[in-house]
């Protein structure tokens, strides 16, 4: 008898369902000019709902300048890039975008990838190969794309407790001075909404001869002068060896990148399979990203409105006695602590209130830390916030969930 392939796949999915971790896609249509309202196709008939969990943090995915640039690029050079970067897939849009990104971070050069995920995976795995006998030291809460990149590289890996620089120092001290030591961490941690201590990490890197790699995916466009991220805000940008970011969150488009010295970029460009063997970003995406980055370099208006919206929502949730984590950033997590309940609350919000927030369960967060993660933006109105907080208060009573705010 042959292996029961189908049954194995069904069992794997059944296990997720049993644990309340089975993911269901929300079938949405974002409409130009209407965000954060969208049409939801998942019920009996299509209806308008409000999105509360988008990573299009500033609404740039709808910005007229971004859309105009994308239309123009489409009309100029068509749909796809037509090849990998080395085989006909480098367009003038790619070159301009990389110059724009290098300038944003004050680095010599930049390299774009098809997503932020690929940029982390391809770069970290290649660092392991380029740096002989390296140790990759990773914050415990680093994103899956960094974890996988480190794993693929096959170098020795050590994990330091989240944002615990004393633990990081213990690890650095324990490694022979001549070995390369890559310290990988984030600017803004996407689930807890806290910041990486860039200055202290750079101090330790200097002291122990480390190499610094920061993921600024949730920070670019959002923090620091011209939206250059947390390292720029902290004045540590020139002490960071590689900055990684995305074009898909605050910039509202798609694609990932790294910026660094020309020598580093040249080496990654020449050795990273995830860069070399994949069709390059569609030029239309590069054009949209260029327009978005340029706009957010000059304009603080979206960032200011977003920060005000996040502050207002946190205060309202706290005022209502809901268990919100008082983050210093734009990310607003409300803790539920149980996967089945988290999904039930999310389903009821959609069904009864037209509010869309995806439940965040293991393995995205540790078991017992299940939550709803709200990302209020400049386009959420005070009336939308009133509806949201009213709905959450009703549901918390109905499900008898724990109250009080979490420091
Ligand atoms: N790094 C972090 C910290 C992320 O949260 C994400 C995506 N959620 C990525 C990298 C991947 O970026 P992208 O969505 O552009 O692939």
Active site positions, annotated: 249
Rounded to an integer, the average pLDDT of 230-256 is: 98
Distances (CA, A) of 290 to 66, 101, 230, 256, 355: 8, 9, 20, 13, 32
ipTM value, please give it: 0.99
Which pLDDT tens digit goes with each residue over 151-195?
Answer: 999 999 999 999 999 999 999 999 999 999 999 999 999 999 999
Atom of ligand 1 nearest to the CA of 118: 16
Which pLDDT tens digit goes with each residue over 84-143?
Answer: 999 999 999 999 999 999 999 999 999 999 999 999 999 999 999 999 999 999 999 999
Asked if 396 and 403 touch (Cβ cutoff 8 Å), the reply is yes
Which pLDDT tens digit goes with each residue over 53-75?
Answer: 999 999 999 999 999 999 999 99
Atom of ligand 1 nearest to the CA of 255: 15
From the CA of 398, how far away is ligand 1's center (Å)? 34
From the CA of 5, how far away is ligand 1's center (Å)? 32
Rounded to an integer, the average pLDDT of 304-323 is: 96
pLDDT at 407: 45
Of the candidates 313, 307, 304, 360, the one whose C-alpha atom is nearest the C-alpha of residue 332 is 313
Mutating to test ligand 1, I would choose from 101, 117, 184, 248 the residue with most ligand atoms within 8 A of its C-beta, which is 117
Which pLDDT tens digit goes with each residue over 352-370?
Answer: 999 999 999 888 899 899 9
Rounded to whole angstroms, the Cα distance separating 122 from 89 reads 18
Of the candidates 336, 335, 343, 334, the one whose C-alpha atom is nearest the C-alpha of residue 18 is 343
Rounded to an integer, the average pLDDT of 255-265 is: 98
Pocket of ligand 1, beta carbon within 6 A = 115-117, 120, 143, 145, 186, 190, 215, 217-218, 246, 248, 256
From the CA of 149, how far away is ligand 1's center (Å)? 13
Average pLDDT, the chain: 95
Of the candidates 342, 341, 324, the one whose C-alpha atom is nearest the C-alpha of residue 333 is 324
Is this structure's pTM higher than 0.90?
Answer: yes
Asked if 134 and 181 touch (Cβ cutoff 8 Å), the reply is yes
Angle value at C-alpha 251, between 373 and 146, nearest 5 degrees: 65
């Amino acid at each position: 008898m042959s292996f029961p392939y189908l049954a194995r796949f069904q069992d794997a999915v059944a296990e997720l369902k049993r644990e309340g971790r089975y993911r269901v896609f929300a079938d949405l249509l974002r409409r130009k000019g209407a965000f954060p309202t969208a049409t939801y196709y998942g019920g009996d008939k299509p209806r308008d709902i409000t999105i509360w969990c988008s990573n299009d943090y500033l609404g740039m995915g709808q910005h007229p300048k971004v859309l105009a640039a994308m239309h123009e690029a489409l009309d100029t050079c068509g749909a796809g890039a037509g090849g990998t970067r080395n085989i006909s897939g480098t367009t003038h849009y790619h070159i301009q975008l990389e110059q724009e990104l290098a300038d944003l971070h004050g680095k010599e050069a930049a390299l774009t990838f098809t997503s932020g995920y690929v940029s982390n995976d391809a770069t970290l795995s290649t660092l392991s190969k380029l740096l002989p006998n390296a140790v990759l030291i990773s914050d415990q809460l680093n994103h899956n794309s960094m974890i996988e990149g480190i794993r693929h590289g096959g170098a020795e890996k050590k994990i330091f407790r989240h944002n615990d620089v004393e633990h990081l120092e213990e690890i650095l001290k324990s490694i022979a001075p001549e070995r390369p030591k890559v310290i990988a961490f984030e600017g803004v941690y996407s689930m807890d909404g806290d910041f990486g201590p860039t200055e202290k990490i750079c101090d330790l890197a200097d002291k122990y001869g480390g190499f610094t790699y920061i993921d600024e995916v949730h920070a670019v466009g959002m923090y620091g002068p011209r939206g250059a991220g947390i390292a720029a805000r902290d004045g540590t940008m020139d002490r960071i060896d590689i900055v990684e970011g995305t074009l898909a969150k605050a910039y509202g488009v798609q694609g990932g990148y790294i910026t660094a010295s020309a020598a580093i970029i040249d080496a990654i460009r020449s050795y990273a399979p995830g860069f070399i063997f994949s069709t390059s970003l569609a030029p239309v995406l590069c054009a949209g990203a260029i327009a978005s980055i340029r706009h957010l370099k000059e304009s603080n208006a979206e960032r200011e409105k977003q920060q005000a919206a996040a502050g207002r929502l946190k205060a309202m949730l706290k005022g209502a006695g809901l268990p919100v984590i008082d983050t210093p950033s734009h990310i607003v997590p409300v803790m539920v602590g149980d996967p089945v309940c988290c999904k039930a609350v999310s389903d009821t919000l959609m069904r009864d209130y037209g509010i869309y927030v995806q439940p965040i369960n293991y393995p995205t967060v540790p078991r017992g830390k299940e939550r709803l993660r709200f990302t209020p933006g400049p386009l959420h109105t005070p009336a939308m916030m009133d509806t949201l907080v009213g709905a959450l208060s009703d549901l918390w009573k109905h499900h008898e969930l724990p109250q009080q705010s979490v420091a």
